[in-house]
Each structure stands twice: as C-alpha cells, then as structure tokens.
Structure 1
Amino acid sequence: MQHGNGGKAPLMYILTLAESKQIIALKLCILVYYATRGKETPKELQLRAAIASIERNSLVVATTGFGKTHIMALLILLEKSTSNKIFITISPLKRLQVTQVETFLTKYQIPTISINHDTPKKKEFWRDRIHNGHKNSSQIGTARHLIVTAEQLFKSAEGHHSRFALLLRDHSFTHRIAHLNIDEIHFVHYAGMERFGIPPFRPSWGRLSELKMPTCPPHVQKTIEMLIGADYSLINHCVNRADIIYARHCVVGSFQTLENYLCFIRTPFPPNGTLHDQPRVLIFFDNSTLARIAAKFINQNAPPQFQGTNFACHYYSDMSSTYLDIVHQEFTEPDGPCRILCATSGESTGIDHPDVRITANVGVVEPTDDEQRKGRGGRDGLGALHLILYEPWVLDIKIEEFDNKNTTFSDDPNQPRTMLKKGSNKRERLSRSGLESILAPCVREYRAEYFCNRSSTRLDYNAWCCDGCAHAKPLCLQEHLPGPIWKDHSPGLKRKRDDLEGDDDDMDSEVDEVDDNDKDAPTDYSSKKRKGEHRKPLVEHLLRWRYAEHEQDPLHDVWPEHLIISDANIASLCSIHPINFKSPKDVVNANYGQQKFLR
C-alpha cells in the first residue's frame, strides 16, 4: 500500500472511513489485486461508488474511460464465490455486451454470459449456464453475472415474453439476484422516452422502473430519479479529460464532398512506412450510406502499399455479425490492418479502443452523445484529438431561434427549434446544445457547464485545450491532423439533393447525378442508385437464387441462408447503380456490405 495512487490502493482515503467500511475497502483491494494477478487496485472513486452501492441505490457520473465497469466487478468479487447470488447488468448494445463479457471473464475471472435476441433458446443451455429451476438444485456451473439487453426484460412487440422475461417470474431465480447494474443509464432518457415529438426508439429503456428492483446532465438526472427514486448516493467525477484536445472544423461544401476526409490519411506517407505510421482514426457518421462511401473513398486514396487492404473499413449494425466481428478485431488489435474506421454509433458506447489518436464527429450531436464518441480516443493514456465537423449551414442558424417558450421542452438544453417527426432533416434536428458547442469560445468550459461539473480539474488540460480558447495557447488544427485540410471549393459531383437527410431510410433514394460535361468529375459513382422500379424484380431474383444455393448444400440443415448474403445486403446490392458493376469480380469485391463474404 502507498499513500499515493500509482497503481496502489488509495490508503489515505481508506483511513478516513469507519472501521467496518475500512475492512470492506481493504477486502476489495485485495480481491481485485488477486483477480487481476497484481496488475490493478481500485481507484478512490471506484471504492467510494462500490461501498455506497452496497447499502443503497447509487448513480455514478464519470468520463468515458474512467473505469465504471471496474465498479460492477468490485461488487461481484465481494460476494463469496460459493454463493448462489447473481448480478445482472442491463447493457444497451450487443457489441458492448461482447466486450464486457470478455472483460469480466479474462480480467476478473467472473463467469459471465450475455443475453440478447441471439442467445440460444434450448432449455439445456438455460438450465446449465444460467439457472437450474429444479427445487433444491445446485447452481454450480451457472454464470454469476448476466449482461442483458433491456428488450429481454419485457414482452416483444408481438406480445411474447422472452425466455429471460419468463425467468424473472420465477421466484427461485429472482431470489438469487443480489444487485442490478444499469450501464449507460442515460439511454433511459435518450432512447426510452418521447423526445420533441419523436417516439422512443428503444421503449424498453423507458420501462425499467417497472422492474422495481455515466455522463449525466441535470435534465437526464431528473429522468433517472424517476427510475431509482430520490434516495441515492451520487458519485460525480470530472467529465473532461486533460489529455483530450477539442477542435471544430467547417467542411468544404457538404459531408458528401469526400475530399474533406483526406485530412485523416498521413500525407506524405514515409516511403518505407508501416501501418504504425498511420494513426488510428475513428470517424462517426449518423448516416450508414455515407460511412460506407467515405470508407471506400479513403481506401482509394490510401498509401500505395495499403491499397487493396482493409486500411479503412465501414461499420454499422445492418452488417453481418461475421463482418462486424472481423472489422472490430482488425481495428482494435495492435497490428490490425484497419487504421481508419467509419462507424455509426454502435462503436461509440462503452467499446474499448486502446490506441485511437483521433475521433471525429461528422455532424453536430448533443454533448451526451459526443461525450461517448470522444471517449473512444486516447484510452491508452497517450491522449487524442476530438474533432467536430460541421457544414456551413450550421452557422446560418441563430441561437435565438431556439427560444420558443410555447413548447413543452423549453427547459431542455437539447431542444430543437420545433417539434420533430420521423422524417425531420438534420437542419430541423439540430439541437440548441449542439449549436452552442460550435459557437462556444471554449469547448471544455462549455461541456463542464452543460454537465454541471464543479470538479476542480474540469478545465485542466495537458498541452492544448481547444480551438478558439482565449485562456490557452492558440491551437493550429492542421498541426494535429496527419493530412492536409481540404480547401478546394469545386466539388466534383453535382447532386440532386444537398445532403443525405435522415438515416438509413435514404438507402432507397437517388443521391447523385453525374455531370457528363464535368471533366474533373471523379470516377467513383458508388453512391449513384438504381431506379426504384428496377429493384424489386432483382431482389426477388436474388432471393430465389439464395434459396436454391442453400438447398443444394449438403449441410444446409446446420447453417442459415443469410450466411450466403443477408436480406439487408441484398437490398443494398440491388440499390447500387449498374454502372458500378462491369464484371462478376466487381460484385464480389465491392465494399457495399458483406459481399466479400459471399460463399
């Protein structure tokens, strides 16, 4: 033990506790030290949160990368290994579940299983791995920790209970529950409730209070109090990290001007350079189509020695699980070939990327979402740049346009200018807090104010604070990017629409129109779409082909049709304009989904 931290137990804090709590704190330190083979001991705030959670509900507010998973592990380790008690964590994303299961199994040696829509339905699996419901039966071999998606707790939209929801009606199972953790609890507010006229897209999160069993601004905290009640312990930690540099940049033209993404490729690249000369970059898109197109464009402009590889990849939930697993692994492994990842929000929540040097938002999002995305960078302690890209039209909107006292959400800092609907475009969806993030003189100071953070370290920074900051040395964005910032104002493609408004609903819209008289037009027409009336017969033809291929395989009983090509990727393939296909090889090699995994 040492008086400082330095990887040792926080002795000075422990000595301030009552004797009974000192014993618990020291026991937790020993348990973690043993479980991690001497590599880790709890931080002071982690101990405070764990001890507070033993006796009452607690809400932990901390920056991404702080170690909130560690707090969950402390509570599980404190329970005797011979106990039949189980711990449940509600988690928002399947990809996050995968990461969490691996962490609890390998780092803390805690038997953990994820439960979601893909979990096996066989009775034997549930009996042997989760809960043996026979009277006086042993629970040896079952998991001590269950990581569950919220949808598994309630009836489905079709009115059916999941197997886990049925298990919650079994008193022999509920009697075993020792503790319930809700990870990323801000999803209750952002995903589980109607917001500005738009229905909740994950309504199960809004129903968690029915069970009766991280980054958090005040208006979200009010929502959470509806769930856990007013009697709880609040453990609040600074949301700003000193090793993160904040910057904002207005792109040329629009986000569809693909040259704006060249700044993320190291240029010039060393003649004998290796993959490690290209910094890891994680770019977040709110439109999966644009993420795919941008990844292809970056690959086309990659250094010659890396062209034809997975130098840049796209990642979004409609892809096959095989593809997503491969891309995630190639981006997170130290020697993985993927150096630039164009992703949607699935890679922003709780996923550990050890060596990302740049995170970028393509678009203006609310600070809570931005905090999740920013937190993927610099998790190895070496710092990172967080860049917010925005289009010129953002500066045409005045902050006074949000002062609408006639709305029911006038006190919400994330309010838009008007009520929203499903088809609202990104101009209409722009929030007050998003615009304020762009206009604020100091991003770090604005975020501390938004999250009501009063920590003495909330404005600390290592070398640079942010662009436009008056109390720190000036930041030159170009010096922190591997490639030159695009400044040409003559886009090569003429577009029928200014932008891809909305999300994946735009997969079926005709986006680009090529001007044949434009000699400087690029040869990449991957975003040009097939006419709608031509798609349906092609989809039907491919579905019949897939069925026939599957039936002819001797092993068709043990693997599903979608492993040939999924329904989503058939739809994506049929939307691509024929000009992109000049040979069968173009179809197989096209980076339009999971086609590279065609059997």
Structure 2
Amino acid sequence: MDTDLPLEPDFAGLTTEEARKLKDEDVGKAYAQLIPTDDRALPASFWDPYSPREKVIGQRCCLLLWIVSQYTVVPHSFQLQAAIAMITGRDVIVDVGTGYGKTFCMVIPALYFTGRILLVVSPLKRLQVLQVLLFEKYGIGCTSINEDTPNDHALWARIESGHFPVLIVQPEHLSSLYKGHRTRLSKIMDENPGFLKKISGICIDEAHFVFTAGLDLYGVPAFRPAFGRLGSVRVRLGKSRIPVQALSGTFPPHIKEAIISTLVMNKNTLLEVTLSSTKEFGPWVVACFQATLYRGCRGGGGVGALGGPALAKLAASGTPFILPGTKVTLPSLFLAGGMVK
C-alpha cells in the first residue's frame, strides 16, 4: 500500500510576483516556511484580532517585504497594523517618533498593490529625495513632484500612465492653482478619470504640517495653506474609496484633532497606532514655537522675544541657547520639531 503523503510545496526562491499571486490557502504555508521565528518574528497573538482575510493580507505583506529586503526585514507590529488598515480601506494615524520606521507603513501598501498609485505627501524637497531612494531600494518605482520637476513630456506621460507606483508630492501640486498657475498634476487629476481610479491611497508624512503650516494660527495666515486644503483634495479624489494615512512623531491632542477634522477622517473606523517617543520636547516645541520659528512673530518674552529671523540666525550659527530648566539647545528645537528646511 502506498502510504506516501503529498509533499508540502517548497516556497524557497519565491518572487514578489509569485507572492502576489499565491492562493489565499498557500499564503499561510509560505509565511510559516519563509518568515523566521527568531526575535524578528511577530508574536502569534498578533493575528488574533484579525479576520481570515486580514490575516492573509498581513502575511502576504510580510512575504513581500521579506523578499524585497533580501530576506532581512520582517515588519514590526505597528508597521503591519497600519498597512493592513490602509489596504482594507481604513484611515490611519501613525503617531510614532523619528527613527522607529514609519516609512515602512507606506512602503508595505505600495508593495501590496499592483497597477495602482500611492500618493505620498511630503513637505520638503530634501526629504522627498531620501524617500525616493528608500522606495527604490525596495524595488518600488517612484518619482517626486515639486517645483523642480522638469517639464519633460516623456516623464509626465509616464506619471500619467501609472508607470510610477508611488508619487511623492508637495501638497501645493495637488491644489488646482499654485503661484497663480494650474499645476500639471492637478490637470491630470481633473482630466484623466483613469488616473484617479488608480490611486490606492494618500500617505501624509510629517502630518503635523497640516496644523502647524496649513492653518491660520494666532492671527497669522497659514505658512503653507496647501496642507490645510488636503481634505478638499481627498474629497475631490473620492473620500469614500481613498484611505488616508497620517504619519508624524508630533501629535499632541490638539494637533491630532485638527488633522482628523481637516483630512475628513472617519472616526468610526479610524486606526490610531501610537508608540512613545524619545523626543522629549518635540510636541511642545511645535505647539508653542511654530509661529515664532516660521513666521517671525514675537512672543511675550524669553526665546519668543527674539523673533523668527533672530531665532533662525542663532540656530544656524550653532550658538548654544539652553532653554531654562532643560538641556535643549536652540538648534535641537529646530530638529526636534522637524522644522529644518
């Protein structure tokens, strides 16, 4: 009698394309076979709150990241929580400090979707350069859109066709008008419904800018009002089908509430992922000094009385200016609040 049992499939050498096409019933087998069980592994209890469908999505995400990282990276719990939520259509707030790996919360959905476009709103051109390099490191086609993007017909044809799965965009280029002119990206969004249908979601990095730069505060006009208009951009794209992920290490309660409201987030299904931050004074700096640092306003005394231009000059010089009762110097304030341009 033949007692041989059917052999389990061997998933060694699995490619990203094969991982995306795996049958749902094989995803768990591949996950068990390929993902290490050392200290990088997710605890078994991580999967308890998830439905079978969400578990398959999460394990497929783990396989994709494992493969593109050359078998070195397993996502942390918070990264996978944020990714699963966004992939299944939920809004997400990622309240995690600098250096913890927020970027993987954006990388994982970009890996999961094929033939789609993930919009990443990023405030600074230097940050955009670094983000493009990181996405490309994991095999994700990516380009940035800002005022330096060339008026190159071939490039814009690739952007419009969906050639780049990730577009890292300054918020001004999602607005209908920028500096009195209609932006190229806005025109594509208005005139090409096929492009809109490809958009899988919006990730807003350094999302505290929605409050600190996008809204009128303390009687002073917004520094970058396009951040404050991102909610209307979302509605324009189709709020009900486009999930939004807001990421920052600077989310004190009043900023978080303003972001939820401005971005028209669904509080009923919103996922908030929070890790404690080592940036001791970051939220306080942004909340109390953003007007002074950015707009040259004058405070009532102490550091604020220096005014914005004087503060910037002092910070650039590196001259130690220690806040009373702390060990924080003025240059540290700029860095802690993400204010360096």
TM-score (norm 1): 0.40
Unaligned runs of 5+ in 2: 1-31, 240-247, 314-341
Per-residue deviation, 1:239: 2.6
1:203–1:11 distance in 2 versus 1, CA, 3 Å: same
Equivalent residue in structure 2 for 1:103, among 113, 123, 134: 134
1:101–1:419 distance in 2 versus 1, CA, 3 Å: closer
Equivalent residue in structure 2 for 1:118, among 148, 153, 159: 148
Equivalent residue in structure 2 for 1:368, among 271, 274, 283: 283
- Give the aligned partner of residue 297 of structure 2: 424
- TM-superposition CA deviations, 1:25-71 (whole Å, max 9, x none): 11111110001011101111111111112222111111111211101
Cα RMSD (Å): 3.2
1:429–1:98 distance in 2 versus 1, CA, 3 Å: farther
- Give the aligned partner of residue 20 of structure 1: 53
Equivalent residue in structure 1 for 2:277, among 240, 248, 270: 240
For residues 5 and 235 of structure 1, what CA distance do their matches in structure 2 show?
28
- TM-superposition CA deviations, 1:424-458 (whole Å, max 9, x none): 33555867xxxxxxxxxxxxxxxxxxxxxxxxxxx
Percent sequence identity over aligned pairs = 30
Per-residue deviation, 1:111: 0.2
Matched, 1:200 2:222: yes
CA contact (8 A) 1:426 1:502 kept: no
For residues 425 and 203 of structure 1, what CA distance do their matches in structure 2 show?
21
For residues 122 and 145 of structure 1, what CA distance do their matches in structure 2 show?
18
Equivalent residue in structure 2 for 1:147, among 168, 184, 191: 168
Per-residue deviation, 1:174: 0.9
1:195–1:46 distance in 2 versus 1, CA, 3 Å: same
For residues 151 and 429 of structure 1, what CA distance do their matches in structure 2 show?
34
For residues 77 and 419 of structure 1, what CA distance do their matches in structure 2 show?
40
- Give the aligned partner of residue 178 of structure 1: 200
Per-residue deviation, 1:504: 7.2
Equivalent position amino acid for 1:424 in 2: C
Matched, 1:90 2:125: no
Equivalent position amino acid for 1:96 in 2: L
Per-residue deviation, 1:8: 2.6
Between structures 1 and 2, the one with greater helix share = 2
- TM-superposition CA deviations, 1:90-116 (whole Å, max 9, x none): 11110110010000001x110000000
Q: How many pairs does the alignment contain?
A: 263
Matched, 1:40 2:73: yes
- TM-superposition CA deviations, 1:187-231 (whole Å, max 9, x none): 110000111122111111011111114231110111112123333
CA contact (8 A) 1:57 1:228 kept: no
1:69–1:421 distance in 2 versus 1, CA, 3 Å: closer
For residues 143 and 369 of structure 1, what CA distance do their matches in structure 2 show?
38
1:196–1:150 distance in 2 versus 1, CA, 3 Å: same
Q: In the TM superposition, what are the counterparts of 1:473-488 in structure 2 within 5 Å?
A: none
- TM-superposition CA deviations, 1:209-259 (whole Å, max 9, x none): 111142311101111121233334232322334xx7x6xxxxxxxxxxxxx
1:421–1:24 distance in 2 versus 1, CA, 3 Å: closer
- Give the aligned partner of residue 165 of structure 1: 186
CA contact (8 A) 1:97 1:114 kept: yes
For residues 283 and 164 of structure 2, what CA distance do their matches in structure 1 show?
33
Q: In the TM superposition, what are the counterparts of 1:396-411 in structure 2 within 5 Å?
A: none
Q: In the TM superposition, what are the counterparts of 1:141-540 in structure 2 within 5 Å?
A: 142-156=163-177, 158-169=179-190, 170-211=192-233, 212=235, 213=239, 214=248, 215-226=250-261, 227-229=263-265, 230-241=267-278, 367-368=282-283, 370=285, 414=288, 423-425=296-298, 427-428=300-301, 501-503=307-309
1:45–1:156 distance in 2 versus 1, CA, 3 Å: same
Per-residue deviation, 1:505: 10
Per-residue deviation, 1:124: 2.0
Larger Rg: 1
For residues 125 and 51 of structure 1, what CA distance do their matches in structure 2 show?
32
What SS does structure 2 have at the residue aligned with 1:55?
coil
Equivalent position amino acid for 1:94 in 2: K
For residues 420 and 367 of structure 1, what CA distance do their matches in structure 2 show?
13
- Give the aligned partner of residue 15 of structure 2: none
- Give the aligned partner of residue 109 of structure 2: 75
- TM-superposition CA deviations, 1:266-308 (whole Å, max 9, x none): xxxxxxxxxxxxxxxxxxxxxxxxxxxxxxxxxxxxxxxxxxx
Give 4+ residue runs of structure 1 displaced > 6 Å after superposition. 2-5, 418-421, 504-507
1:188–1:232 distance in 2 versus 1, CA, 3 Å: farther
1:149–1:504 distance in 2 versus 1, CA, 3 Å: farther
Per-residue deviation, 1:117: 0.3
For residues 128 and 77 of structure 2, what CA distance do their matches in structure 1 show?
26
Unaligned runs of 5+ in 1: 133-138, 247-365, 372-412, 432-498, 508-599
1:59–1:67 distance in 2 versus 1, CA, 3 Å: same
Equivalent position amino acid for 1:45 in 2: F
For residues 73 and 421 of structure 1, what CA distance do their matches in structure 2 show?
30
Per-residue deviation, 1:125: 1.6
1:65–1:415 distance in 2 versus 1, CA, 3 Å: closer
TM-score (norm 2): 0.68
